[in-house]
């Protein structure tokens, strides 16, 4: 039943929504993953969770997780040994949140089990290129160049939770490779 009076030609936006943080008090294990961009908020969350049975945290840039690749490896090892009853909390830039989200869903977590805190910054975001089907991280801009296929992309306000990325489509079909510096 459409009650909406919005014009069918109104701009269509589908951007991520970050609900207020909710802690599942019954979860037997809380994982806190942060990109290190907002340590006070990360520490506040970890102390809020101190009363729960188990809290583990990973911070990007710490000695055991110096790179994103290493952090994702450690996280994958954790997931392999965990059981249903986990809640994952992610803090950081929007691109970081959705990189971790994709890794978590690939290991069987559902959206109900993943809590994404509102991003510390949205200056960097993931863009999905519809021409070569690759996802890359780009600085916030309406137009970017796909590093894989070099097509100049326009970034739409259309977000895929599954891919964790915004939709990038060819800016100018008559001149797909021109108009943007590499």
Partner 1 sequence: MNDVIQVRVHAALNITPVIREITFEPVDTALPAYSAGSHVQVHIPLAQRTLRNAYSLLNAPADRTAYRIAVRLQEHSRGGSRYLHENLKVGDVLNLSRPANLFPIHTLGRHHILIAGGIGITPFLAYSEHLLREGASFELHYAYRSGLTDAYVQPLAERLGDRLHAYDSLERPLNLAPILSNQPLGSHLYICGPQRLLASVREQASALGWPDGRIHWEAFSSAEPGLPFSVELAQSGRRIEVGADQSLLEALEANAVEIPNLCRGGVCGQCVTRYVKGDVTHRDHFLAANERADRLMPCVSRGCGSSLVLDL
Site for partner 1 in 34-63 (CB under 8 A): none
Under the binding rule (CB under 8 A), the answer on residue 29 touching partner 1 is yes
Burial class (CB within 10 angstroms; exposed 0-12, middle 13-18, buried 19+) of 2: exposed
| Integer Cα distance of 122 and 135 in angstroms | 16
Q: How far is the CB of 73 from partner 1 (least distance, A)?
A: 17
| Integer Cα distance of 132 and 103 in angstroms | 21
Distance of CA 120 to the CA centre of its chain: 12
CB atoms under 10 Å from CB of 36, counted, come to 16
Q: Which residue has 């070099």 as its token pair?
A: 150
Which CB atom, from 29 or from 74, has the smaller least distance to partner 1? 29
Under the binding rule (CB under 8 A), the answer on residue 112 touching partner 1 is yes
Which CB atom, from 31 or from 170, has the smaller least distance to partner 1? 31
| Integer Cα distance of 92 and 80 in angstroms | 23
| Integer Cα distance of 140 and 165 in angstroms | 12
Q: How far is the CB of 86 from partner 1 (least distance, A)?
A: 7
Which CB atom, from 10 or from 22, has the smaller least distance to partner 1? 22
Residue of 9, 20, 22, 26 interacting with partner 1 (CB under 8 A): 26
Under the binding rule (CB under 8 A), the answer on residue 86 touching partner 1 is yes
Residue of 3, 4, 7, 110 interacting with partner 1 (CB under 8 A): 110
Residue from 113, 67, 63 nearest 90 by CA: 113
Residue of 44, 76, 108, 157 interacting with partner 1 (CB under 8 A): 108
Under the binding rule (CB under 8 A), the answer on residue 76 touching partner 1 is no
Write the CA distances from 126 to 24, 84, 93, 174, integer angstroms.
29, 29, 11, 25
Q: How far is the CB of 83 from partner 1 (least distance, A)?
A: 5
Residue of 44, 84, 123, 140 interacting with partner 1 (CB under 8 A): 84
Q: How do 124-129 and 135-139 pair as beta strands? A: antiparallel
Question: Which positions lie near partner 1, rule CB under 8 A?
Answer: 24, 26-29, 79, 82-87, 107-110, 112-113
């Amino acid at each position: 039943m459409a009650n909406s009076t919005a014009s069918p030609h109104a701009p269509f936006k589908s951007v991520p929504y970050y609900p207020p943080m909710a802690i599942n008090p019954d979860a037997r294990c809380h994982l806190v993953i942060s990109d290190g961009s907002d340590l006070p908020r990360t520490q506040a969350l970890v102390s809020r969770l101190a009363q729960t049975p188990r809290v583990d945290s990973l911070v990007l840039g710490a000695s055991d997780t110096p790179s994103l690749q290493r952090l994702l490896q450690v996280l994958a090892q954790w997931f392999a040994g965990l059981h249903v009853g986990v809640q994952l909390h992610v803090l950081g830039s929007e691109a970081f949140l959705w990189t971790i989200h994709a890794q978590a869903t690939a290991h069987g977590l559902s959206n109900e089990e993943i809590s994404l805190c509102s991003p510390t910054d949205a200056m960097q975001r993931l863009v999905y290129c519809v021409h070569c089907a690759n996802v890359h991280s780009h600085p916030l801009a309406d137009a970017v160049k796909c590093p894989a296929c070099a097509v100049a992309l326009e970034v739409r306000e259309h977000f895929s939770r599954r891919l964790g990325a915004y939709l990038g489509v060819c800016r100018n079909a008559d001149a797909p490779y021109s108009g943007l510096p590499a």
